[in-house]
Chain A
């Protein structure tokens, strides 16, 4: 367990993972559940345990849609999406770890794709 990683994630997310009461409502409401290896409640629990590396290695971090459903519906105000985002930032902030690069963009374009999609994806997937 890397203590530094855990502290960094708690700092970046501003989330108190100890507030979680393990009800699983975040995962019940998550639209990306089936695409994820680790689910929102697991992000919260594994960060609490300090089990960060598995999360960082998982593709689950790119599947969060930032829809805030888990944030809104969590009865304890834990805000799991912020934990997912913090883990992703931990990954993409490292040199050469961008999940999406400008070179990838042209292949993804079509005539109607709004600019919003491109800038948001760049913000979420790369540094």
Chain B
């Protein structure tokens, strides 16, 4: 199994763990992730303005590069996944935007949303299969009670993201079960951590993260996993020290279970 891979800028810097463990695990699972050449930053957020063109072109370039390689595009960072997926949807379904974007880029062939963007979790669920993953586990995380934190970007808008039921998702929980851990049921798993507002109003972000942390702890989790560097940051740095649970990238647990964590 070979896929194009879009790591995104954070994974090259502050979130290197998210990337490193994903690559190690993929190798163990027989999945080849080939990083796109010359990818650019997705911009971190998809502008909801339909007349915003330029800020979305970097994503379209990445999508087109994968198309030219004839491969599905794997993402890992929740934000990149959300941006690429929404840009792809706009290229496929918003005729006006698609026309303008193609006019700007003058590609060899117009891009119309042909590339399939899949998140690493979807790769595990739909391509590798959680059953196969379960078999590949060498150090099951038996007895570990983990809270799967989706945040906003993996699931919403569900009409575009299409990863799972946006209100009652199970992909991360199933993942946790596959590596032997025990997922915790908690309602705040799909509520916002405060996100980029940390740059504008740290207090606001802190409040949101605290509510998330609070609920995970209250429902008996001993750690939280996420796929988003910003969620990790907010939950780790923007919550009260007392009662703060460890926050990990899901790939770290995956690597641990597969026995490839260094």
Contacts and interface: CB of A to CB of B under 8 A. Distances in A.
Interface of A: 11-14, 31-32, 35, 62-63, 65-69, 71-72, 79, 81-82, 85-86, 89, 99-100, 108, 110, 112-121, 123-125
Contacts of A31: 191-192, 194, 208
A11 B50 contact: yes
B44 A123 contact: yes
A110 B196 contact: no
Interface centre among B8, B47, B49, B158, by most chain A C-beta atoms within 10 angstroms, is: B49
Given A82-B48, A89-B49, A116-B79, A62 B200 contact: yes
Nearest to A85: B48
Name the prevailing secondary structure of the B interface residues.
Answer: loop
Given A86-B48, A110-B237, A121-B199, A116 B10 contact: yes
Interface in B181-229: 191-192, 194-201, 204, 208, 228-229
Interface string B28-72: 000000000000010111011111100100000000000000000
Contacts of B200: 62-63, 99-100, 121, 125
A119 B157 contact: no
B14 interface: yes
Interface size class of B (residues with CB under 8 A): 35 or more
Given A63-B201, A110-B237, 15 more contacts: A12-B51, A12-B52, A13-B49, A32-B197, A35-B201, A68-B156, A69-B152, A71-B157, A72-B167, A114-B13, A116-B44, A116-B77, A116-B228, A117-B44, A118-B199
A114 B157 CA distance: 23
Contacts of B158: 72
Contacts of A114: 10, 13-15, 229-230, 232-233
A124 B49 CA distance: 11
A75 B76 CA distance: 31
